[in-house]
Structure 1
């Protein structure tokens, strides 16, 4: 699966409410909002809520949500598929995970 960059552009608001899964099929969360770079006119992150508490530490899980970088997105359809990096970050030291996942 890949992102079809030549496809007809869709409204970015159509992403809100879609479920996000890792490439291994593990539920990560649901898109609540998007982080945008208005100068570049690009989506830079996905703000997730209803997080899978097994993937995030207690501090992140108790927060309102998490933002994952849009560069992790592999495919967008009825659901969004991201790299399995979230699963790998879960096993990493807390210092490493704070760089990529913002609560």
Structure 2
């Protein structure tokens, strides 16, 4: 036994932060690719309302690609979530102003 199922279950309940230290959400589930035996995503709930405001209906969750994960420890750090989420909004604003 390699302990993989136990390790996956320990991800549930961990808080997720951007590499800038901004709280993103909490892991509620893990998405798996059974053929490749790999984690492909993290389903997050208890989201940062400010971060996801006007993007996700209150009470809903998001699925982050696992490739965004930078580090897993007591918390999970993800790459560029804040920058990736802000870009479309900024582009929209500049389009509306122009």
Looking at structure 2, the residues matched to 90 and 41 of structure 1 have their Cα atoms a distance apart, in angstroms, of: 29
Q: Name the residue aligned to 2:74.
A: 78
Gaps of 5+ in 1: 1-7, 97-103
Q: Name the residue aligned to 1:90.
A: 85
- Aligned pair partner of 2:44 in 24, 32, 48: 48
How many residues are paired up?
87
Gaps of 5+ in 2: 92-98
- Aligned pair partner of 2:53 in 45, 53, 57: 57
Asked whether 1:21 is paired with 2:13, we answer no
Q: Name the residue aligned to 1:37.
A: 33
Higher helix share: 2
Looking at structure 2, the residues matched to 91 and 77 of structure 1 have their Cα atoms a distance apart, in angstroms, of: 26
Looking at structure 2, the residues matched to 32 and 39 of structure 1 have their Cα atoms a distance apart, in angstroms, of: 22
Deviations 1:29-87 (A, max 9, x none): 0000011000000000000001001111324142520000000111101110111x221
**If you compute each CA radius of gyration, which structure gives the higher value, 1 or 2?**
2
Q: What is the alpha-carbon root mean square deviation over aligned residues?
A: 2.0
